[in-house]
Amino acid sequence: MHRYERASAADIRPRIVGSTDLPGGIRRLQIEYTSTDDVRIGAWITLPLDGIVDRGIVRLRGYGGIAEADVLHPALARTAVIWPCLRGLGELSRSARFPDAPSEHVLVGIESRDGYIHGGCVDDTWSAITVLQRLVPGAAARTDLIGGSFGGGIGIMATAWDPRIGSAVVDVPSFGNHPVRVTIECEGSGEAVRRRWLADPSVLDVLAYYDSASCAQFVDVPVLVAPALRDPVVPPPGQWSVYDALPSQKELCTLTAGHVQYPEEAAERAALEATMLEFLAAR
């Protein structure tokens, strides 16, 4: 909880740096704010042009960040969404302080519990919620989280400790069950961590604090999880460990595969979106 308290005390200094009106009656704001460690974060907020909002969502993407905010499904009317580019990632938050290549980013500060970059990314997520609720007060009535891959793992860690998050949707969530994950060859950031563990097994002592499956045990709000049966980037045992660790109020939407194209992908993704909208509408 000390991280959450520190993030809550941060002087976020939000600033709107641009505004664009999009088709469908949506306004997109480009903003920036300050997270912990005095890291400046870029983000977008999308909201109805009429300004009528009674729900907020923080939307986290996978490694590589967000090139541009999407417009969520029309069923999510009267919803304001913040799309933060977490520290060092995406078009708006690249910085000389952090590498943006996933295999390098994932190792920053891994020697230290307080210095590991994933802790900072969770801080950035909490600060994003603060920014959203400050700039769009109606979003405070209900704020949910949607995250995929990297964003799914960070999202579970954030949800475990932030009482402002009312529910979460995560697909192919990363960073689950590190003791098993580091034993499985994979691609991308997970393989970088595995190789680091082979050279220095003590990194598991730090990763224990940033394990999305361990954090899932402390989540007390409804969560929809979409784990994959096979995935070359995020080993499925870690994804399923997140779902298994959730104590209650959980729903499952199984995907054939993650991080790879396959024949059923479009149909399964459409089904996941429909399930997500139904899940959020029921909250």
Taking residues 209-234, report their average pLDDT. 98
Query: Would you list the domain boundaries of the chain?
Result: 2-281
Is residue 199 within 8 A of residue 154, CB to CB? The reply is no
**Per DSSP, what are the bridge partners of residue 196?**
none
| pLDDT confidence bin for 166, thresholds 50/70/90 | very high
Q: What percent of the chain is modeled with pLDDT above 90?
A: 88
State yes or no: pLDDT of 68 exceeds 90: no
Q: What percent of the chain is modeled with pLDDT above 70?
A: 97
In tens, the pLDDT along 26-41 reads: 999 999 999 999 999 9
Q: What is the pLDDT of residue 69?
A: 75
Q: What is the pLDDT of residue 1?
A: 56
- According to CATH, the topology of domain 2-281 is Rossmann fold (3.40.50)
In tens, the pLDDT along 247-281 reads: 989 999 999 999 999 999 999 999 999 999 999 99
State yes or no: pLDDT of 213 exceeds 60: yes
**Lookup: tokens for 74:** 């029309």
Instruction: Name, in order, each residue with C-beta under 8 angstroms of 29's C-beta and a sequence gap of 6 or more.
Output: 16, 18, 19, 44, 45, 46, 47, 135
| pLDDT confidence bin for 192, thresholds 50/70/90 | very high
Q: What is the pLDDT of residue 248?
A: 84
Q: What is the pLDDT of residue 283?
A: 79
State yes or no: pLDDT of 206 exceeds 60: yes
Considering only CA atoms, which of 240, 238, 213 is closest in space to residue 226?
Answer: 240
**Lookup: tokens for 164:** 């402002």
Look at 92-96, 124-128, 158-162, 222-226 and tell me which has the smallest mean pLDDT: 92-96
State yes or no: pLDDT of 239 exceeds 90: yes
**Per DSSP, what are the bridge partners of residue 250?**
223
State yes or no: pLDDT of 93 exceeds 90: yes
pTM of the model: 0.96
Q: What is the pLDDT of residue 158?
A: 98
Is residue 154 within 8 A of residue 147, CB to CB? The reply is yes
| pLDDT confidence bin for 65, thresholds 50/70/90 | low
